[in-house]
Amino acid sequence: MQPIPHPSPNFGERRDGLRPELVVLHYTAMEDVPSALERLCCPEFEVSAHYLIARDGTLYQLVEEDKRAWHAGGGDWRGRGDVNSRSIGVELDNLGDQPFSQPLMQTLERLLPGILSRWGIPPEGVIGHSDMAPRRKSDPGRRFDWARLARRGLGVWPEPREAAPNEAEFLQAAETFGYDSSWGIDAVLDAFRQRFRPWAHGRLEARDMGEMLDLAGRFPIDPAPPSA
């Protein structure tokens, strides 16, 4: 699949010899693709991504994969910061409050296998912006179909389980899976639910507890960070 080149000046070199070990998914939160491309390619805004997928399935490449696009901002995942240097950023043409189109999802499902293969990224390395920065970001949002990606081996999904709710144990399991427990129970629970239980609300429930324990048990942090 050949993307349409649309180069952005908003990039740099990956720092400290870091390589991509994550794919971070975003929504554009803009009315249309021309508006998103203008923003992602404007030096004034200092923001970009490696790829943008339009609602009709058109794929644009803004930054080469070996370069550091400016898409993630502050945050961390699996105990490591500078997510921009460790990731590929993919923007999805969506306002955040609507289902993602079939052509868009189909293009994403064609794009991701190549990225994961080229950089040796496992399915658990495909995350949302909200996973790494839950206090300030909510994309790709509650409408994004994470279960669909997981069924295709392009993401992960918990087995349906329940366990007695315990906030301390939930945060410990969340950190084992990748979340920063210092964000606190409210932020971590909301980030987890945005992705895995998008319509759940209220206090920690048995389903939240069981599914976080499942994710932590099957996809724990590798104690040895990838070498440069």
Total number of domains constituting the chain: 2
Please give the pLDDT value at position 228: 39
Structural domain that includes position 178: 167-218
Please give the pLDDT value at position 223: 57
Is 225 a residue whose pLDDT tops 80?
no
Residue 183 shares a structural domain with residue 136:
no
List the CATH number of the domain containing 18: 3.40.80.10
pLDDT digits (tens, 9 = 90+) for 26-56: 999 999 999 999 999 999 999 999 999 999 9
Residue 112 shares a structural domain with residue 180:
no
Residue 27 shares a structural domain with residue 58:
yes
| Arithmetic mean of pLDDT, 87-101 | 96
Is 227 a residue whose pLDDT tops 70?
no
Please give the pLDDT value at position 12: 97
Which of 151, 181, 204 is the endpoint of a domain? Answer: 151
Single-letter amino acid, residue 142? R
104 is a domain residue: yes
pTM of the predicted structure, to 2 decimals = 0.95
> Which of the four pLDDT bands, split at 50, 70 and 90, describes residue 172?
very high
Residue 107 shares a structural domain with residue 133:
yes
User: Catalytic site residues?
Assistant: 91
Give the chain's radius of gyration (CA, Å): 17
Q: In what order do the strands lie in the sheet with 59-61?
A: 4-5, 59-61, 51-53, 87-92, 22-27, 126-128
> Which of the four pLDDT bands, split at 50, 70 and 90, describes residue 159?
very high
